[in-house]
Amino acid sequence: MGAADRAQEAARRHLHAALFGILSEVGYLVEADPADTPGALSVRVGRVSTPATLTEDIRRMLADLRGAADSSEESGLSP
């Protein structure tokens, strides 16, 4: 495996770990390396309290992050 392949594999693992943590936190059931597609993530709706799509949830999470950043700037705190 060459250096570029190792770098791509490491980047994929980091991205999957971040997505796994974020999606699990908001109630999605995430499975790393499902049997039918190794090296992938499988995402299913889990304990989400209101019906939504993944896209809507990501938009909501980003809006929440923007709101938190705006409020910290207003209070003089740096992110």
Domain boundaries defined on the chain: 1-45, 49-79
Q: What is the pLDDT of residue 76?
A: 56
**How much is the pLDDT for 48?**
54
Q: What span, in angstroms and rounded, lies between the C-alpha atoms of 61 and 26?
A: 9
Chain segment 13-63, per-residue pLDDT in tens: 888 888 888 888 777 788 777 777 777 777 776 665 555 677 777 788 888
Q: Are 5 and 12 a contacting pair, CB within 8 Å?
A: no
Q: Is the pLDDT of residue 75 over 70?
A: no
Pick the more confident residue, 67 or 77. Answer: 67
32 C-beta neighbours (distance < 10 Å), count: 14
pLDDT for res 3:
92
In contact, 19 and 41? CB cutoff 8 Å = yes
